[in-house]
Amino acid sequence: MSTLPRALNEALHGLAPHLPLAVAFSGGADSTALLLACWQRWPQQVAAIHVNHGLQEAAAGFEAFARQFCTARGIPLHIEYPHARHASGESPEDAARKARYAALARGVQALNQAQTLPQPIASIALAQHADDQVETLLLALSRGAGLPGLAAMPRQWERNGLLWLRPWLTVPGPQLRHWLQQQGQNWVEDPSNLDLHYTRNRIRHRIVPVLEQAFPAFRQTLARSSAHAQQAQQILEEVAQADLAVVGVPPSIRALQALSAPRQANVLRHWLKQHHGIAAQHRQMQELQRQIMACTTRGHQIHLKIANGHVQRHNAWLHWLTSSPA
Ligand X SMILES: Nc1ncnc2c1ncn2[C@@H]1O[C@H](COP(=O)(O)OP(=O)(O)OP(=O)(O)O)[C@@H](O)[C@H]1O
Of 11-19, 29-37, 221-229, 302-310: span binding ligand X (CB under 6 A): 29-37
The answer on whether 27 is annotated among ligand-binding residues is yes
Of 47-55, 236-244, 274-282, 285-293: span binding ligand X (CB under 6 A): 47-55
Minimum separation from the CB atom of position 143 to ligand X (A): 17
**Rule CB under 6 A: is residue 264 a binding residue for ligand X?**
no
**124, 18 Cβ separation under 8 angstroms:** no
Angle, to 10 degrees, between the axis of helix 6-14 and the axis of helix 173-182?
120
The answer on whether 323 is annotated among ligand-binding residues is no
Q: List the one residue from 46, 69, 128, 147 that touches ligand X (CB under 6 A).
A: 128
149: CB partners within 8 A, 6+ apart: 140, 143
**Rule CB under 6 A: is residue 50 a binding residue for ligand X?**
yes
**Rule CB under 6 A: is residue 21 a binding residue for ligand X?**
no
**Rule CB under 6 A: is residue 135 a binding residue for ligand X?**
no
Q: 191 exposed, middle or buried (CB, 10 Å; 0-12, 13-18, 19+)? A: exposed
| Cα Rg of the chain (Å, integer) | 23
For 51, other C-beta atoms within 10 Å of its C-beta total 27
The answer on whether 173 is annotated among ligand-binding residues is no
Rounded Cα–Cα distance for residues 140 and 147 (Å): 9
Rounded Cα–Cα distance for residues 84 and 107 (Å): 16
Minimum separation from the CB atom of position 127 to ligand X (A): 3
Q: 76 exposed, middle or buried (CB, 10 Å; 0-12, 13-18, 19+)? A: middle
- Name residues contacting ligand X, limited to 100-119 (CB under 6 A): 100
Nearest to 178 by CA among 8, 2, 1: 8
**Rule CB under 6 A: is residue 24 a binding residue for ligand X?**
yes
What would the DSSP string read from start to end of 41-102? HSTTSEEEEEE----STTHHHHHHHHHHHHHHHT--EEEE-----PPTTS-HHHHHHHHHHH
The answer on whether 30 is annotated among ligand-binding residues is yes
The answer on whether 324 is annotated among ligand-binding residues is no
The answer on whether 31 is annotated among ligand-binding residues is yes
127 or 240: CB nearest ligand X: 127
**Rule CB under 6 A: is residue 123 a binding residue for ligand X?**
no
**Rule CB under 6 A: is residue 136 a binding residue for ligand X?**
no
Q: What residue type is 77 in one-letter code?
A: L
Q: List the one residue from 22, 30, 223, 266 that touches ligand X (CB under 6 A).
A: 30
- Name residues contacting ligand X, limited to 198-217 (CB under 6 A): none
Minimum separation from the CB atom of position 136 to ligand X (A): 9
241: CB partners within 8 A, 6+ apart: 270
Q: List the one residue from 5, 14, 28, 172 that touches ligand X (CB under 6 A).
A: 28
Q: How many residues bind ligand X (CB under 6 A)?
A: 16
Q: Name the binding residues for ATP.
A: 26-31
Binding stretches for ligand X (CB under 6 A): 24-26, 28-31, 49-51, 100, 126-128, 132, 190
